[in-house]
Amino acid sequence: MLAKIRSSPWTDLCIKPAELRLDPTLTCGQAFRWRLTGAGEYTCALWDYAIDLKQTPTSIHYRVLGQLPTAHVDVAEALRDYFQLHISFDSLCDSWAQADADFTRLRQTHMGVRTLRQPVVETLLVFIASSNNNIKRISMLANRLSEHYGQAIETEKGVFHTFPSLARLNSDPQIAETLSRLGFGYRAKYYANTVRALCAEHSDPEQFLLGLRTAPLSEARAQLLKLSGVGPKVADCVCLMALDKTDAVPVDTHIWQVAQRRYVSRILDSKQGPEMLKLLPTDHQNKAMQLARQLKSTKAPNAKTYQVAQQLFVHLFGKYAGWAQGLLFSGDLGHETKPSKRKNQQTAANKESKMRLRSTK
């Protein structure tokens, strides 16, 4: 049964574009269910509400298009928490620019690209689908999961579905078969195993996952790695985007290449290295040099060098290294410098394959 339509007026979140822009924040591979529904407008079902967001030249506005009877949160506060608006993106860019002056440019060309604080169950399950996948297909799978198991909210912009709870998923005795029919392929068994394990081992599995927000990064990562379909990069994406681990740095092949191109070669250069590291504390300078040497001869990340690359980002960018990586990821998607005419002709065809997620298992 569809929830009753009930729209509210637009309300200003009072946040400048320099601190938050909906595109690319909602489109760069963090969240997968926001739907473009108008000029600068994005809509999604969250917290039992159908929420509409609108980018204006000066701020972000929101309104509620509909809700379920169970809806009870303060939407404005929930959105401020979701976008982590208490953290100054501009101040972080100032800090990161001490290690990489190019952040001065990135803050202009990719201003307002924030790391989200998302519902933990949705983040976990959606990123399980991210392995060897792309943004378009992950979004399709996330929406299919919501449409089949979630609750529908009818609005003036169409029907939006909530993301299902673990209990709802666990109530399907044939979940693996259902997800296979929905197009999840080999990932269907990962979902079934993870849902069953969490519901069998914890009386309140969602609360267990939320409890990892207060655990150290190493413990949260270790708990996630016990789950089917979760490798190091998926675990780090969940830690960064749902569990408050701002120093979690997911490293896939793309970010690995960014690290090699932007940092390893520059740090080890006799002229560029000292200039790049001069504003960092001495112990961080020495550690960054040591880590860069370890990474220099490695062509692709492995279990050991994955951690080395993470440490390099943390020593360069500090507590919010995960946020810095997110901005680098977004900015580097358009890295081509003066591409040839032939490359320009291929851009549209190659864009989706280029946007491989940092979360690949």
Neighbours of 231 (CB within 10 A): 15
Alpha-carbon radius of gyration of the chain: 21
- Within 13 Å and on the Cβ side, how many CA atoms surround 348? 1
Residues 25, 131: contact at Cβ < 8 Å? no
Exposure letters 128-167 (e unless 16+ CB within 10 A, then b): bbbbebbbeebbebbbbbbeebbbbbbbebeebbbbbbbe
Helix axes 232-242, 303-317, angle to 10 degrees: 30
d(CA 50, CA 43) in angstroms, rounded, equals 7
Of the residues 54, 157, 189, 233, which is catalytic? 233
The pair of three-digit structure tokens given for residue 331, joined into one six-digit string? 């900015």
DSSP 320: G
Residues 26, 135: contact at Cβ < 8 Å? no
Residues 195, 179: contact at Cβ < 8 Å? no
338 carries an active-site annotation: no
Active centre residues (catalytic)? 233
